[in-house]
């Protein structure tokens, strides 16, 4: 996968859900990591093209073709026509909330809509300054965080959008009350922390077989991996055994004799690939809902990214790559299981520093999670500091993130 030289752009995906259903689509986010002076970009145009080309390909490989993909566009990027290569039947062009809707921009939006593209308006709070472009917009993303303190205004904004035939998407929903509000007001789509924060999701019981799987997840990331133990655990789960045999027999992976035994499949796959495959499949088996799958995908990306980034550090690696991979893999476990992280980690054998990081407490591995968050769209001061602390060049970290996205997409697709 090629990237613009010295690019420090990253791409993440944020699921959009039907309020009472499955995943409707995804918002694909791009931004710089490490601040504007962290890398010398060849040009804004080349950097954006790299993100649109490489990032979208990497992050959407395993997304079903019927899912809508929303992408934020600034006025400048739209004026340059970088949206034109996208499939208008699948992609939604999201107009950012800080755009000035003068006559020139209104005409631009009208022409984009006329070319068959679907548009969305981001972070809308009812500002009349956007009235000129509203006729050309299909989706209106209403900022619940900004309007939550004024329920009357929130209802008025929703009603006005619905009256004009717009599809309302509740953005930044954080609580069960937000979802109840959406349901009562007929808001069909929602996006936000409600779908990932453990304190507001329905609690799940951590069944015995799940606890076994989590310990297997820890086992495959150890430097002294016990292949015999792993074979025994996989062999006790018919689903995992079947998936492993199918994976190894795929023409993409193995072109020799058919693999009919678990022992031979493990030998063909090799230690590193076996650990990666098990990690993804165990995460994917912890839940069956679209939210669970999305969290499993994000966890897999985090784990692979941390391992690859550690190999790219200036000087020497500070962690053993497969071991630090476990930190990323477990970092969203509370949301997947619907229980506090402390309870999710109960009975799981991991080192003390990793446990502290997962519990959000100070420790040497907390920086790694800050780094992950920076590449998922939360480009805050901690994320920027994490690059410096980890001794990572933005270009190397970005390349590692794109590789992790492509790897996770390929693993989940298979």
Residues 140-197 have pLDDT tens digits of 999 998 898 898 999 999 999 999 999 999 998 888 888 889 999 999 999 987 765 4
The structure tokens 């008025």 sit at 156
101: three-class secondary structure by DSSP: coil
The pLDDT confidence band at residue 274, using thresholds 50, 70 and 90, is confident
pLDDT of residue 262: 65
Task: Give the mean pLDDT of 128-145.
Answer: 94
Among the ranges given (160-169, 277-286, 292-301, 322-331), the one the predictor scored with the smallest mean pLDDT: 277-286
User: What is d(CA 350, CA 160) in angstroms, rounded to the nearest whole number?
Assistant: 52
The pLDDT confidence band at residue 63, using thresholds 50, 70 and 90, is confident
Task: Give the mean pLDDT of 108-127.
Answer: 94
Cα distances (Å, whole numbers) of residue 257 to 185, 249, 360, 414: 59, 9, 48, 20
Residues 369 and 343 sit within 8 Å (Cβ to Cβ):
no
| pLDDT (tens digit per residue) in 69-92 | 898 888 888 888 878 878 899 899
- Report the percentage of the chain scoring pLDDT > 70: 67
pLDDT exceeds 80 at position 22: yes
User: What is d(CA 401, CA 405) in angstroms, rounded to the nearest whole number?
Assistant: 6
Task: Give the mean pLDDT of 19-29.
Answer: 84
Tokens for 373?
A: 């968050």
The pLDDT confidence band at residue 366, using thresholds 50, 70 and 90, is confident
Tokens for 142?
A: 């209403």
Residues 305 and 372 sit within 8 Å (Cβ to Cβ):
yes
pLDDT of residue 387: 79
The helix, strand and coil proportions of the chain, stated in percent and rounded to the nearest 5, come to: 50, 10, 35
pLDDT exceeds 80 at position 355: yes
Angle (nearest 5°) at CA 294 between 311 and 226 = 50
Cα distances (Å, whole numbers) of residue 385 to 140, 223, 368, 379, 390: 35, 29, 11, 10, 9
Angle (nearest 5°) at CA 123 between 101 and 188 = 120
Query: Residue 194 has what DSSP assignment?
Result: G
Model-wide pTM > 0.85? no
266 versus 80: the higher-pLDDT residue is: 80
- Report the percentage of the chain scoring pLDDT > 90: 20
pLDDT exceeds 60 at position 314: no
Tokens for 274?
A: 């076996």
The pLDDT confidence band at residue 379, using thresholds 50, 70 and 90, is low
Domains of the chain, with CATH numbers?
9-199 (3.20.20.450), 208-413 (no CATH)
pLDDT of residue 187: 95
Tokens for 230?
A: 């792993």
Query: Residue 53 has what DSSP assignment?
Result: I
Task: Give the mean pLDDT of 313-319.
Answer: 54
DSSP structure string for 201-248 = S------HHHHHHHHHHHHTTSTT--HHHHHHHHHT-HHHHHHHHHHH
Among the ranges given (59-68, 153-162, 164-173, 240-249), the one the predictor scored with the smallest mean pLDDT: 240-249
| pLDDT (tens digit per residue) in 30-49 | 655 554 433 333 444 555 55
pLDDT of residue 268: 74
pLDDT, averaged across the chain:
76
Backbone phi, psi, residue 24, to 5° = -85, -40
184, with CB counted inside 10 A (0-12, 13-18, 19+), is exposed
Among the ranges given (127-136, 233-242, 365-374, 378-387), the one the predictor scored with the smallest mean pLDDT: 233-242
Task: Give the mean pLDDT of 346-351.
Answer: 68
| Residue 330: half-sphere exposure toward Cβ, Cα within 13 Å | 34
pLDDT exceeds 60 at position 376: yes
The structure tokens 């897999």 sit at 300
Among the ranges given (92-101, 322-331, 366-375), the one the predictor scored with the smallest mean pLDDT: 322-331
pLDDT of residue 283: 67
Q: What are the helix (H) ranges across 258-348?
A: 262-269, 271-284, 290-311, 321-330, 333-337, 341-344
pLDDT of residue 102: 92
285 versus 258: the higher-pLDDT residue is: 285
């Amino acid at each position: 996968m090629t990237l613009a030289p010295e690019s420090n752009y990253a791409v993440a995906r944020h699921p959009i859900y039907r309020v009472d259903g499955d995943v409707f689509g995804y918002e694909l986010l791009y931004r710089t990591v490490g601040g504007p002076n962290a890398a010398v970009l060849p040009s804004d145009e080349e950097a954006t093209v790299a993100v649109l080309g490489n990032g979208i390909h990497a992050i959407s490989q395993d997304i079903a073709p019927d899912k809508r993909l929303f992408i934020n566009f600034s006025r400048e990027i739209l004026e340059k026509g970088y949206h034109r290569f996208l499939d208008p039947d699948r992609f939604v062009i999201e107009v950012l909330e800080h755009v000035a809707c003068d006559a020139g921009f209104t005409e631009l939006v009208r022409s984009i809509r006329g070319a068959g593209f679907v548009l969305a308006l981001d972070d809308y709070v009812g500002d009349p300054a956007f009235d000129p472009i509203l006729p050309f917009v299909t989706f209106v993303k209403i900022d619940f965080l900004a309007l939550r303190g004024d329920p009357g205004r929130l209802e008025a904004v929703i009603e006005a959008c619905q009256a004009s035939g717009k599809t309302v998407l509740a953005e930044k929903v954080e609580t069960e009350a937000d979802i109840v509000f959406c349901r009562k007001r007929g808001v069909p789509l929602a996006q936000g922390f409600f779908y990932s924060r453990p304190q507001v999701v329905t609690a799940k019981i951590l069944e015995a077989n799940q606890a076994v799987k989590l310990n297997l997840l820890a086992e495959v990331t150890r430097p002294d991996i016990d292949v015999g133990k792993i074979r025994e655990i996989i062999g006790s789960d018919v689903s995992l055994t079947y998936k492993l045999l199918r994976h190894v027999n795929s023409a993409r992976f193995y072109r020799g004799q058919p693999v009919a035994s678990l022992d031979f499949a493990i030998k063909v796959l090799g230690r590193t690939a076996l650990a990666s495959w098990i990690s993804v499949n165990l995460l994917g088996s912890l839940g069956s809902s679209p939210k669970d799958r999305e969290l499993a995908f994000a966890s897999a990306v985090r784990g692979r990214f941390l391992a690859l980034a550690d190999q790219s550090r200036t000087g020497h690696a500070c962690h053993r790559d497969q071991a630090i991979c476990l930190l990323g893999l477990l970092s969203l476990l509370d949301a997947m299981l619907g229980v506090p992280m402390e309870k999710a980690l109960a009975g799981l054998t991991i080192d003390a520093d990793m446990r502290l990081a997962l519990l959000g407490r100070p420790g040497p591995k907390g920086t790694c999670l800050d780094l992950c968050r920076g590449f998922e769209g939360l480009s805050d001061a901690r994320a920027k500091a994490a690059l410096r602390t980890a001794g990572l060049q933005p270009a190397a970290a970005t390349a590692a993130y794109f590789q992790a996205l492509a790897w996770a997409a390929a693993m989940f697709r298979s």
